[in-house]
Amino acid sequence: MSEALCFKSVIDLAAGYRLRRLSPVEVVRAVLDRIATVNPRVNALYHVDAEGALAAARVSEARWRAGAPQGALDGVPVTVKDSIAVAGMPMPRGTRALSGVPNDTEDAPPAARLREAGAVLIGKTTMPDLGMIASGLSSLHGVTRNPWDLARNPGGSSSGAGVAVATGLGALAIGTDIGGSVRIPSAFCGTAGLKPSYGRVPVGRPWAGLVAGPMARTVAEVALLLAVISRPDVRDYTALPWDDRDYLAGTRGGVRGLRMGLLLDIGFGLPVDPGVRARLEAAAALLAGVGAAIEPMAPIFSEDPEPAFDRMVQAYAWPSFGALDSAQRELVLPEVAAWCRRGEGMSAAELTSAMVAVGETRRRVVIACAQYDYVLAPTMAVEPYAAEAPWPPGGTQHNPFCFPFNLSEQPALSVCCGLTGNGLPVGLQIIGQRFDDAGVLRVGAAYEAARGALPRPVHA
């Protein structure tokens, strides 16, 4: 029974609490017990606040008994990525260089919204150094492992978040994404994760392309979490006007009559693995079977746009890395340190040139997607690679099928579309027009319903 509680959906948890068939305290205890058993194998959480979580669960239980819950997430166990500030918890951002920083004293907007909704904050999840690689490799946290195959990578940089929801170490998680960091772990771990439209979810320190996004085992749960963390916060001066809608209700519209482009070659980067391609084509056929019109889509790029994106991110990364003293810099993962050092001494002309090129990438992406209601693409072109690798062999440091849609500010959802011949998950990425977060969730839910249930990870 304890394990079953850890895999109950958020909707079922709320129903159980309301009918007094379940207690937030027993659910949180079950999750904490499971963390003690499973986390040593997968290394998803580096900080667990058992005492605080149980205290919050007791208060939640009292609210449910009084018939006054604070919403659908009241009493639901949630984890938060290392790089998101949570009052009373550390935020070393995955690196030994910051291992001694004091605990935060204030919640970042996503954490604040969770507390207001009555969610139970279980702890913080692992990430690579400064979030600069799409891997579960960290100088501080060690190696986070894929629950489908412990020798494989869970993706990054929201590594632990993806593993936590896949293995029942929390019903929901919040990650961040500037080049695929919510979607890649969701794809590699067989779960669902949304990179919202830029500005949809308020963050504490906004910068170009960066979003916080909901991660869960199903699209419906992603929708519930988005409704909470997208609520307004004055601290994010880039935030969109609050869209006060029921994202869960919006998932029930189906896809009949929608026109979708199938993008299997974006024009640069590693070619799509045959096993990944087969799952994507099967997913497109399934959507066609429930009423969508699917059309092959031409590559968006004729040359590689990643160098300009890299320069932009290096320019942002350098101030944080540059503020470290020489001893601290030596503690940063070597691949990340080398990356950050490329931002030192960047001239205004170099940065301006990079930003002009980034604008051109954005223009091309928006124009290419404009003729379709939605675009279907792989989240990752390859299967999960070795757990100790910083990025795919022969690949680039950022995922070609992800970062262009950060630059274009479009919502993009990753949902599992089955397993390869090696038994590893494949992510179907559903990309919508700017601001159409509800639409990508609707398509994802329709696909999930047509696909049916998937098995749990081998090591869950």
Diameter of the chain measured on Cα atoms: 64
Q: Among 60, 83, 135, 181, which one carries the catalytic annotation? A: 181
DSSP 8-state secondary structure symbol assigned to residue 146 = B
E-strand ranges in 361-407 read: 374-378
- Please confirm whether the linkage preceding 157 is cis (ω < 30° from 0): yes
Q: Which residues make beta-bridge pairs with 195? A: 412
76 three-class SS: coil
CA 391/CA 409 separation, integer angstroms: 24
CA 417/CA 194 separation, integer angstroms: 15
CA 367/CA 377 separation, integer angstroms: 16
60 tagged catalytic: no
- Run of H or E residues at 5: helix 2-6
- Run of H or E residues at 275: helix 274-289
Helix and strand counts by DSSP (H, E) for the chain? 15, 13
* CA-based torsion, 345, 395, 383, 399: positive or negative: positive
34 close to 169: Cβ distance less than 8 angstroms = yes
176 close to 184: Cβ distance less than 8 angstroms = no
157 tagged catalytic: yes
- Run of H or E residues at 368: helix 348-370
Q: Among 8, 23, 81, 83, which one carries the catalytic annotation? A: 81
DSSP 8-state secondary structure symbol assigned to residue 149 = B
DSSP 8-state secondary structure symbol assigned to residue 121 = E
Q: Among 60, 157, 158, 408, which one carries the catalytic annotation? A: 157
The residues assigned a catalytic role are: 81, 157, 181
